Structure 1
Amino acid sequence: MNDPLSDVITLLRPRTVLTKGISGAGRWGVRYSDFGQPSFCAVIDGGCRLAVDGAAPLTLQAGDFVFLPATPGFVISGFEPVTPVLIDPRRTPAADDVRHGTTEGDPDVRLLGGYFVFDSPDAGLLVSLMPAVIHMRGADRLSVLVRLLADEATERRSGCDLVLSRLVEVLLVEALRAAQREDASPGLLRGLSDARLAAAIRHIHSDPAHSWTVAQLAKLAALSRSVFFDRFTRAVGLPPMEYLLSWRMALAKDLLRRRDLGLAEIAEKVGYGSASAFSTAFSRYVGHPPSHYAREISGPAPA
């Protein structure tokens, strides 16, 4: 049976863009403007404060890991009051390590940070199913992965791009595994933390073409129809049939982008009896027909 977490990460197609060292000493603070791409950092030594827009401030310490699936604005600083210096991440030098505050002596904190991008045309939908901030303490496995990413990006040896893409995938799996908690914000990860809902979600991912009903999914979850509907909607943030539709459309967009299959084959894979029925549903969901979407995302078909 399909693993929904693996399905989502495969569809997102993450790839590395930047990793670098960050350190600070004395009185320091920087504000990064809204970036929108996924970013992460691991605290190697010391500690600092992190205040992400719209979330409670965090005190970070050695061994902590933070992942922001769609990085909003945030302030990172030492523990002394300070007016932060504004930094636009889109204009920051690509791979240079950064030292904030006083430049003499040992730093008060050392971090390894970076960001990557999702190649999926439906990344917005999939990211919306994740918590806005993922923070873990004692995340040794994640810290090791971040170090490996930084080393690989610096050395640029043969096969570097392949190694980096695989490391990013593993990093994302580890981060999202750790975020599967019942107290997480609504989204796929919270749904997967509920054993009964997870059974239904796994069946949706294993056979998205099946004509699922709420009653069938409720039976798989060993819940009454009404209890299942309410519990799924609260945990995932979408009603069951809306989640099924969104997953089908995410798969359809990915298949259209690849251009390996015809419209009728794609329709069958995502649960529609004909190309016309699929085209109508896709147009209603996306705003334009599949053929238009395929041209827009991939350019003209090769001659």
Structure 2
Amino acid sequence: MDTLAGLLDGPRARGAFLVRSLLTPPWSILLRDESPVALCAVVAGDVCVRPASGGVIHLTTGDVAIFRGPDHYVIADDPETPPQVHILPGQECRTPEGVPLGTMSDLMTRPGELGVRTWGNDAAGATELLTGVYEVHSEVSSRLLATLPPVLVIRHDTWDNPLVGFLADEIVKDEPGQSAVLDRLLDLLLIGALRTWFARQDEGAPGWYRAHSDPVVGPAVRMLQSDPASPWTVASLAKKTGVSRAALARRFTELVGEPPMAFLTGWRLALAADLLREPDATLAAVARKVGYSGPFALSAAFKRVHGISPQEFRNAG
């Protein structure tokens, strides 16, 4: 598992919040849900995004935007349209004055609904949006999300991806297993957009991503990520990649930004943090899965990096 795949292997969509919005101007929504990551695809119409950092981003039909949490942002028909609805954590909806409107799920299932998983102000609205929200935090995905801008945009004319159309077709269906179908389509659309964006960043992409194409460091990174439980050393990794220890350490640090064993420690502890959120996972089992000799060794490393013990981390989550 690499870091990009880890984004979806940890917080993989499982009943992710998905909504189709049909809108006619004037409309404006303030997103304050603070989810780790959200995706918005414009099926039809034109949209303005106002990130908390300032400025205006214009989206049009076929564009896909990825929003990195927990930043707030406004999505509207026009930059000057004031927000009419605030969406809070748990998809709770309120008026700008704070009056509760229920959750987004409530609004999608009330009498007179616009359709399956559909919300908005006009059944004939010229603007159609698909929004998917990942509400589960993951330490693995945090390593990736930290490298992203607050709003990442993939323009419709810069990539050839049929998934927006597939998701638009499937989101309005109410058939057995539909939730799983939508989760997988959302995953594929998100990973496709991220992979496309990273591939275009050249030197701006994170080191671990650029390292994947390197003939020496790429295999080393993949081995560490796919098998963190192995007792890796720089020597054993160098032997597997067919270079000297010095050459591997130098090239790895140059491309990834940290030495091989430091990278492995960070990856192991990110995996451990995600596993600790599983209700039935014991500390001993987590330690074995991520390559520590036992609970004590994992606890010591975890506290050194996170500042709290694994048990305290679990209780806080």
TM bin (shorter chain): 0.7 to 0.9
Q: How does 1:291-302 map to 2 (within 5 A)?
A: 291-294=311-314, 297=317
CA offsets per residue over residues 226-271 of structure 1, 9 Å max, x none? 45423322xxxx6654442222112223333336665444323322
Task: Count residues with an aligned counterpart.
Answer: 282
Q: Shift of residue 10 of structure 1?
A: 0.9
- 2:305 maps to amino acid: Y
Q: Percent identity?
A: 26
Q: Shift of residue 205 of structure 1?
A: 0.8
CA offsets per residue over residues 30-89 of structure 1, 9 Å max, x none? 25143321222222223233232337643222111112142522233446x624325311
- RMSD across aligned positions (CA): 3.7
Q: Shift of residue 105 of structure 1?
A: 8.0
What is residue 301 of structure 1 aligned with on the other side?
none
Q: Shift of residue 202 of structure 1?
A: 1.2
CA contact (8 A) 1:35 1:71 kept: yes
What is residue 252 of structure 1 aligned with on the other side?
272
Say if 1:243 and 1:148 are closer, same or farther in 2 by CA, change over 3 A.
farther
Q: How does 1:1-303 map to 2 (within 5 A)?
A: 2-15=1-14, 16-25=16-25, 28=26, 30=28, 32-37=30-35, 38-54=37-53, 57-70=56-69, 72-78=71-77, 82-85=80-83, 87-90=85-88, 91-92=92-93, 93-94=103-104, 95=108, 97-99=119-121, 107=126, 109-118=127-136, 120=138, 124-138=142-156, 140-152=161-173, 155=174, 157-183=175-201, 186-187=205-206, 190-191=209-210, 194-196=213-215, 197-209=217-229, 210-213=231-234, 216=237, 220=241, 225-233=249-257, 240-258=260-278, 262-294=282-314, 297=317
- 1:142 maps to amino acid: L
Q: Secondary structure at the match of 2:199?
A: coil
**Which deviates further from its counterpart, 191-200 or 242-251?**
191-200
Q: Secondary structure at the match of 1:89?
A: strand
Aligned partners of 1:189, 1:110: CA distance in 2, in Å?
A: 36
Aligned partners of 1:217, 1:258: CA distance in 2, in Å?
A: 34
Say if 1:74 and 1:149 are closer, same or farther in 2 by CA, change over 3 A.
farther
Q: TM-score, normalised by structure 1?
A: 0.73
- 2:13 maps to amino acid: P
Aligned partners of 2:273, 2:163: CA distance in 1, in Å?
A: 31
Say if 1:169 and 1:104 are closer, same or farther in 2 by CA, change over 3 A.
closer
Gaps of 5+ in 2: 94-102, 109-117
Say if 1:224 and 1:280 are closer, same or farther in 2 by CA, change over 3 A.
closer
Q: TM-score, normalised by structure 2?
A: 0.71
